[in-house]
Amino acid sequence: MSTESAETEHEQEYESRVGAMHAFSRLLEDTSAKISLVAITIISAMALFAFVDAKLLDYQLAEMFLYHPLRAESGARPLLPPVGLSNQFGDGVLAHPLGTDTRGRDIAVRILYGSRIAIQIALVSTTIGVAVGTAVGAVSGYYGGWIDDVLMRFVEILYSIPFLVLVIAFMAAFGRNLTYAMIGVSIISVPIFARLIRSEVLSIREETYVEAAQAAGVKDRNILLRHVIPNSFAPVVVQTTLQMGTNILIVAGLSFLGFGAQPPTPSWGQMLSIARNYMLPAPWFSVWPGLAILVTVMAFNILGDGLRDILDPRLND
Amino acid sequence: MSHLRYSVKRLLQAIPVLLGITSITFFLINAMPGSPVEVMLGPTATEEMITEASARYGFDQPLYVRYYKYILAVLGGDLGQSIHYGVPVTEKILERLPVTILLLVSSFTFAISVAIPLGIVSARRRNQPIDHGSRVVSLIGVSTPNFWIGLLLIIVFGYHLQVLPSNGLVMPFTPISEVGGADSRLDVLVETGRSLIMPTIALGTLQMAAISRIERSSMLEVLGRDYISLARAFGVKESVITRKHAFRNAQLPVVTIIGLQLTSALGGAVLTETVFNINGMGRLIIQAIRTQDYALIMGTTLFFGFMFVVGTLLTDLTYAYLDPRVTYEGEQ
């Protein structure tokens, strides 16, 4: 029996690898998905650069090649417009292509370093949300009964508090910093994945191969981990991609309200909350960080849509 | 099961959810650093003053006693006293609630009335320019932070063109004398409309985009069904098919999405009210957190949850009305 199950496992693994490769090659046939993939790669590379420079090199790279994102140069002029435009503070210069902020710091560099926060949020909080949500949803759907009732009621409660309010209340209780923002956003991603996985599991539970595994005496834990969860993963991959975009939006909103990354660390939402006070003299200052959020979130949404077209045949009309 | 019995059942199911929301907020708030009494009395308070005030407000009791008392008070409709404003929390909420409801109703009306025609046209002219155009619009809509839309609208229409007010929201029942330049009720209403335009667009765009995406795919699915092909074979006009045969059946997923959009809209209201300096529930909750006004934080959060529960209930009932096949016998 053991050789048999090893064989089916091997076969399954083989098939899923072929499936993933196949899906990826089909994704590359879709022009908009391809562009979004390139965009996400570029933004992630920017974020990685910013992360390495900020955390390991103490902004040495920034000072060597660009400007310091946290401090203004001596003699820097605040609120300069982008290159080619002029306002009451002066003419835009090529050295600061997107202009400067209220303290004379280069906006382009701050947007580059702000990408770190966005990508970090997208990766960390979504991953935690998927992991916990998958566990809760799988257990709930597989066992049913009172376990299902209790878990789903809890998920419903989490879902009923508007997520921004829930995260803000959470951060008010534990502290205003990025770590708590990420934990807060993970918590609100949990119900979404728990519900999704549960509904998948409910239908997979009835499949013949699960019955066969049960009859063969495979442990519940192993059935869940090896058969049920892997088979319900297509919609999860799609939802994860879309959720990354949503989580970036939520954290941008939190930072805008002053509950995200704390100054002087640049984040896009927080840059907008500063820019908000200078909309009349320096409207451009409000444009760039928002554009950065829009492009990033849109890339994740396009990729998610592309993945859905490929992975979820039910939605292929 | 009749709709009435179903509604009653749904209302009863909402009770544990509301109790859960109350508990979560209660314990979160009590995990906050510092005691409410210290916040209330300020940094100059002496030990005796703190002990005395703690005893007076019942903060010296153990947590579970306070929890029990709070739940009892909430059941009786008492959400406590706002420390910052010095008035009952319910009074403050009732003062701010109409503003947020007006904003939400207005933005959902905008979202639905734009999204449904857009989705239908998109589905009927599939893969034609108008379809591509509307898909790009909805993609941008779901990817844009609503507070940023607000900022851009203020820059263009508030500051640059100076055609719309960018600060605050005039309520329709505001006394005429308090609205600048208004001589009659009609002027006040016009001012309400003008001050609503930008917040509505800022808050409603995300909903509009999400709804139109669902409307399109749902219409496409229904239009591909056999009975539609049959109707076409009988020579029924395309406009009649859309209106009489496809539309109603395609609205079920749309209704679900509208219900789900409510949480994001409530969260969005916090941001929109901040951008436009509108004194509604959203700003109240932020102010409550900034001033560490415990009772007010709990009351507003609970109320937001309550609004969501009512919203989902309305969605479910609409669902039952739209789909005669839906029966609730033995349903969860």
- How far is CA B11 from each of CA B33, B71, B170, B288, B325, rounded to the nearest angstrom? 36, 18, 34, 29, 22
Nearest Cα of chain B lies from the Cα of A222 at a distance, in angstroms, of 29
Q: Who wins on pLDDT, B173 or B104?
A: B104
At residue A298, the pLDDT reads 94
At residue B100, the pLDDT reads 92
The sign of the CA dihedral B145, B148, B150, B153 is negative
Of A157, A161, A290, the CB nearest to B145: A290
B282, closest residue in chain A (CA to CA): A165
Q: Who wins on pLDDT, A9 or B215?
A: B215
At residue B201, the pLDDT reads 94
B chain contacts of residue A166, beta-carbon cutoff 8 Å? 301
At residue B331, the pLDDT reads 42
CA distance A300 to A39: 9
Of A157, A280, A298, the CB nearest to B139: A298
pLDDT single digits (tens) A69-112: 777 776 677 777 777 777 777 776 777 777 777 777 888 888 88
B332, closest residue in chain A (CA to CA): A149
At residue B324, the pLDDT reads 64
Average pLDDT of span A23-49: 86
A160, closest residue in chain B (CA to CA): B305
Q: Is it the case that residue B332 has pLDDT exceeding 50? A: no
Nearest Cα of chain A lies from the Cα of B187 at a distance, in angstroms, of 28
Q: Please, what's the b/e burial string for A88-103 (b: 16 or more CB within 10 A of its CB; e: otherwise)?
A: ebeebeeebebbbbee
| Chain B contact present for A249, CB below 8 A | yes
pLDDT band at B330 (very low <50, low <70, confident <90, very high): very low
At residue A8, the pLDDT reads 56
pTM of the model: 0.85
Place of tokens 């009659």: B184
Of A153, A162, A286, the CB nearest to B16: A153
A169·B264 Cβ contact <8 A: no
pLDDT single digits (tens) B194-249: 999 999 999 999 999 999 988 998 888 888 888 888 888 888 888 888 888 888 88
Place of tokens 């981990």: A225
B chain contacts of residue A238, beta-carbon cutoff 8 Å? none
Nearest Cα of chain B lies from the Cα of A54 at a distance, in angstroms, of 26
At residue A245, the pLDDT reads 92
A chain contacts of residue B12, beta-carbon cutoff 8 Å? none
List phi, psi (to 5°) of B170.
Answer: -85, 120
> CB–CB of A169/B301 below 8 Å?
yes
CA distance B106 to B203: 9
Nearest Cα of chain B lies from the Cα of A152 at a distance, in angstroms, of 11
pLDDT single digits (tens) B58-78: 777 788 888 888 888 888 888
B267·A165 Cβ contact <8 A: yes
| Chain B contact present for A170, CB below 8 A | yes
At residue B146, the pLDDT reads 92
At residue A13, the pLDDT reads 53
A chain contacts of residue B275, beta-carbon cutoff 8 Å? 276
Nearest Cα of chain A lies from the Cα of B125 at a distance, in angstroms, of 14
Of A161, A166, A279, the CB nearest to B159: A279
The mean of the pLDDT values for chain B is 83
Classify residue A31 by burial, with Cβ atoms within 10 Å: 0-12, 13-18, 19+: exposed
A249, closest residue in chain B (CA to CA): B145
pLDDT single digits (tens) B104-135: 999 999 999 999 999 999 988 888 898 889 88
Q: Tell which of A161, A183, A198 to mutate to test the B interface (max B CBs under 10 Å).
A: A161
Q: Is it the case that residue B103 has pLDDT exceeding 60? A: yes
pLDDT band at A61 (very low <50, low <70, confident <90, very high): confident
Q: Is it the case that residue B329 has pLDDT exceeding 50? A: no
Average pLDDT of span B253-281: 86
**ipTM attached to this prediction:** 0.84
DSSP line for A260-299: SSPTTS--HHHHHHHHGGGTTT-HHHHHHHHHHHHHHHHH
Q: Is it the case that residue B34 has pLDDT exceeding 90? A: no
pLDDT single digits (tens) B295-311: 888 888 888 888 888 88
Q: What percent of chain B has pLDDT over 90?
A: 23
Q: Is it the case that residue A266 has pLDDT exceeding 90? A: no
B chain contacts of residue A122, beta-carbon cutoff 8 Å? none
At residue A317, the pLDDT reads 39
Least confident of A66-70, A190-194, A294-298, B313-317: A66-70
B267·A170 Cβ contact <8 A: no
Size of interface A-B (CB pairs under 8 A): 144
pLDDT band at A18 (very low <50, low <70, confident <90, very high): low
Average pLDDT of span B158-182: 82
At residue B277, the pLDDT reads 92
At residue B173, the pLDDT reads 83
Nearest Cα of chain B lies from the Cα of A270 at a distance, in angstroms, of 12
At residue A293, the pLDDT reads 94
pLDDT band at B1 (very low <50, low <70, confident <90, very high): low
A317·B271 Cβ contact <8 A: no
Q: Is it the case that residue A132 has pLDDT exceeding 90? A: yes
A chain contacts of residue B268, beta-carbon cutoff 8 Å? 164
B313, closest residue in chain A (CA to CA): A160
The mean of the pLDDT values for chain A is 81
Nearest Cα of chain B lies from the Cα of A272 at a distance, in angstroms, of 8
pLDDT band at B81 (very low <50, low <70, confident <90, very high): confident
A159·B263 Cβ contact <8 A: yes
| Chain B contact present for A192, CB below 8 A | no
Helical (H) or strand (E) element with A87: strand A86-87
| Chain B contact present for A287, CB below 8 A | yes
CA distance A179 to A173: 13
Q: Which of residues 1-60 of A touch B (CB under 8 A)?
A: none
| Chain B contact present for A274, CB below 8 A | no
Q: According to the 3-state scheme, what is the secondary structure of B237-263? A: CHHHHHHHHHHHHHHHHHHHHHHHHHH
Q: Is it the case that residue A4 has pLDDT exceeding 60? A: no
